[in-house]
């Protein structure tokens, strides 16, 4: 059954947690959906995990639109979230709206996530007023390049709670809180009727999101404090490729069972043709 924003609102109302995963391609998305995950996000963290950049900033709208459409093909039933890259929103409200529309048309997404501060409320409102559901992304905003926990002082916590409320008043249908103090995330989640997704903002939000490379332990470098790996697929992957390489070098792979053969009698014909 198709997961919609209403499905998630209902889950919130009934106190049922939902699960989201950030992933970037057709094959992974199929595996994620098979695990029963309700929400897929095609995050701009693709800049780091797929393209090897050291921040999310360089990833283009073209690239995000293409991979988002690929993930949609894999998961017609899940709620699909597009992630507005920096390039897509850096030139103001008109450009942001145009790119949000592109995600809806080309990517077939249900909602567009946009990193936002106080100064973005009007832009967010204009996208929502054009009929496009928006999930403002508050707290740590990777497009700023700062990865320090947010809302850890009463003053900043007040600002985040106020901003969340303003986003709701502007018509936001969901909210994502990244790296925000648990206490603050809890207040926002309890206060607003819309589903609030935590990315490292504690267990009191309505849903959780992690990036697939962390869930699977695909990276070797440092991971954020909030992240957790649930299997060492990175190790399994390296071991599998090493075994493949060993078998090639030792002449074990490919064996005859992994070869195609000429039809009966054709080899003999070929031999004659050669002479
Ligand atoms: O880019 C991303 O994957 C994200 C999630 C981690 C929230 O924004």
CATH of the domain at 87: 3.20.20.60
Q: Are residues 134 and 206 in the same domain?
A: yes
- Rounded distance from Cα 226 to ligand 1 centre (Å): 13
Closest CA to 124 of 159, 163, 154: 163
Q: Are both 52 and 134 inside the same structural domain?
A: yes
Verify that 222 and 250 share a domain, yes or no: no
253 and 149 fall within a common domain: no
Q: What is the pLDDT of residues 48-70, one digit of tens each?
A: 999 999 999 999 999 999 999 99
Residue 181: give the domain boundaries: 5-231
CA 83–ligand 1 middle distance (angstroms) = 8
Residue 180 has pLDDT above 80, yes or no: yes
On whether both 39 and 116 belong to a single domain, the answer is yes
Neighbours of 50 (CB within 10 A): 14
Q: Which atom of ligand 1 is nearest to the CA of 45?
A: 1
Q: What is the pLDDT of residue 220?
A: 82
Q: Note the pLDDT of residue 172.
A: 98
Residues 195 and 263 in one domain: no
Measured CA to CA, the distance from residue 20 to residue 83 in angstroms comes to: 13
| Res 222 pLDDT > 90 | no
Q: With 80 as the cut, is the pLDDT of residue 231 above it?
A: yes
Say yes or no: 227 and 253 in one domain. Answer: no
Q: What is the pTM of this model?
A: 0.95
**Do 95 and 177 belong to one domain?**
yes
Residues 139 and 115 both lie in one domain: yes
Shared-domain flag, residues 259 and 138: no
Looking at the fold, whether 30 and 43 belong to one and the same domain comes out as yes
Q: Is the pLDDT of residue 96 over 90?
A: yes
Report the Cα 147 to chain-centroid distance in Å.
18
Name which residue sits closest to atom 3 of ligand 1, judged by CA.
43
Same domain, 261 and 191: no
Q: What is the pLDDT of residue 66?
A: 98
Name residues contacting ligand 1 (CB within 6 A).
22, 41, 43-45, 83, 176, 178, 199, 209, 211
Residue to mutate (ligand 1; options 23, 28, 45; most atoms within 8 A of CB)? 45
Which pLDDT value is given to residue 38? 98
Q: How many domains does the chain have?
A: 2
Question: Residue 129, exposed/middle/buried by CB under 10 A (0-12, 13-18, 19+)?
Answer: exposed
Q: In angstroms, rounded to a whole number, what is the distance separating the alpha carbons of residues 156 and 35?
A: 37
Nearest atom in ligand 1 to 113's CA: 8
């Amino acid at each position: 059954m198709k997961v919609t924003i209403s499905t998630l609102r209902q889950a919130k109302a009934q106190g049922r947690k939902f699960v989201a995963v950030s992933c970037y391609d057709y094959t992974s998305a199929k595996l994620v959906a098979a695990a029963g995950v309700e929400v897929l996000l095609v995050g701009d963290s693709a800049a780091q995990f797929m393209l090897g950049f050291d921040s999310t900033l360089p990833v283009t709208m073209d690239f995000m639109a293409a991979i988002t459409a690929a993930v949609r093909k894999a998961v017609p039933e899940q709620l699909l979230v597009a992630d507005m890259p920096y390039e897509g929103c850096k030139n103001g409200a008109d450009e942001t709206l145009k790119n949000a529309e592109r995600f809806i048309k080309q990517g077939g997404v249900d909602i567009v996530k946009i990193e936002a501060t106080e100064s973005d409320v009007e832009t967010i409102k204009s996208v929502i007023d054009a009929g496009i559901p928006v999930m403002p992304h508050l707290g740590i905003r990777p497009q700023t390049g700062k990865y320090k926990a947010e809302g850890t002082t009463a003053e900043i916590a007040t600002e985040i709670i106020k901003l969340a409320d303003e986003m709701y008043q502007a018509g936001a249908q969901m909210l994502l809180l990244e790296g925000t103090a648990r206490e603050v995330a809890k207040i926002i989640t309890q206060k607003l009727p819309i589903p609030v997704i935590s990315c490292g903002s504690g267990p009191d939000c309505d849903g959780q999101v992690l990036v697939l490379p962390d869930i699977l332990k695909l990276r070797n470098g440092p991971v954020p404090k909030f992240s957790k790996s649930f299997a060492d697929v990175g190790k399994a992957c390296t071991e599998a490729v090493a075994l493949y390489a060993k078998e090639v070098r030792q002449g074990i792979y490919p064996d005859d069972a992994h070869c195609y053969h000429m039809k009966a009698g054709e080899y003999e014909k070929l031999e004659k043709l050669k002479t």
